[in-house]
Copies of this chain bind each other. A is one copy, B any other.
């Protein structure tokens, strides 16, 4: 069997070959998400770029199918769902190739693309059937906030309210949230419904969420769709919020019809059923593999509260996998994710000898979370990577000593600098540690992509090996 021509590829796809390919384990739907500003777009761009341009031993030494010279080629083909926006790989590459190079525009909402990877199977059943095989790889990009909404599927409004209130009443949220909380305290559960008041408070609550994300760099933001409402902007199911009075109410209470409480409960339920369940059924339950990207450096810069928030966000994400496996919905729409990778991005922003610390730190964030949830059966790994390397590592002399350093251009000013950005703690920092240490990791601009070279990276091949290796055997 030869490598098929362009139109033959198309034909295979169109004739429902997908299903057959899935049966032969030759189809993977890989979901990419991140805790905001983690570099989803850079990751997908680099992943696609490596597969299209960089499949040689030099660039992907840890990717078996490449190392063993079984990789035959890769191309982008028509995506499976015409109503989902396409991931704009071309635009991202253009930004990285411009002078000076720029980080690609972040994506908003959901997007997808499909690659077809031709390879020679290793000796085994498959290789007996065919000389060459094709892996159809769908990459789906979605906002991390949607993932963090999934635990709402198992919650009632009052329970959710109390959980959010606890967040709102602790720093770093508390000082900004105080005046909103005061207003919301005036909502009496048994008052007749006042839609204008509920809408106004929901809009102010949404502004708070934006502030928490954009100014405080927090990740735990529910309901996530409030931040990206799209066509639901202004719809009543976005007009609810955590109710301060919830702390005085029994969970078993039945709200009186026509009251504020009843309206809030109805809207929470509508959000859960329409928005959260919709995402779960249409997308999440269809994913085969998931990578969650996290920037651990920015929360270290921002301090203990931001770092604890990242920890809690990772716990919630692991809960949502747990959710899928234990709940009622599961019987109808079992999630298929059988491999989960947490990756700390921007490893090029620290010196190489700190990478092991970064991995250890992320490992502890994930490990801590795993103890809170029943979570087994899914291979789950952690690693530190740089999707697109923005710095070069080396040594510089300081008072006769050789110290590790990185060199790059600062993202804000473009200024070329060489520095030792600091140490990364290799355990979860405790209060004492925070008192004695401050972090100031610098953001770097990308280096311009060379036309004849794939994008430089750190350990993207190892991420590929974990996420796809078994499908390319």
Contact = CB atoms under 8 A, between A and B. Distances in A.
Interface string A127-153: 000000000000000000000000000
B11 A257 contact: yes
Contact of A230 (B192, B230, B236): B230
B7 A258 contact: yes
Contacts of A235: 82-86
B257 A10 contact: yes
Contact of A83 (B192, B199, B232, B263): B232
Interface stretch (A57-65, A266-274, A347-355, A373-381): A266-274
A82 B258 contact: no
B236 A193 contact: no
Contact of A237 (B82, B230, B237): B82
Contact of A9 (B90, B195, B258): B258
A186 to B, nearest CB: 18
B231 A274 contact: no
Interface in A261-312: 262-263, 266-267, 270, 274-275
A259 interface: yes
Contacts of A230: 230-231
A233 B83 contact: no
A77 to B, nearest CB: 9
Interface string A242-267: 00000000000000111100110011
A420 to B, nearest CB: 42
A78 interface: yes
A292 to B, nearest CB: 23
A266 B78 CA distance: 11
Range class of the A interface residue count: 35 or more
Contact of A192 (B7, B79, B232, B266): B7
A79 B270 CA distance: 13
A88 interface: yes
A111 interface: yes
A6 B88 contact: no
Contacts of A259: 7
Contacts of A232: 83, 85
A444 to B, nearest CB: 28
A78 B192 CA distance: 12
B79 A258 contact: no
A109 B270 CA distance: 21
A125 interface: no
Interface string A186-223: 00000011011001000000000000000000000000
Interface string A162-184: 00000000000000000000000
Pick from A83, A85, A111 the residue with the most CB of B within 10 Å.
Answer: A83
A277 to B, nearest CB: 12
The 4 closest A-B pairs by CB, nearest first: A7-B258, A10-B258, A85-B234, A82-B237
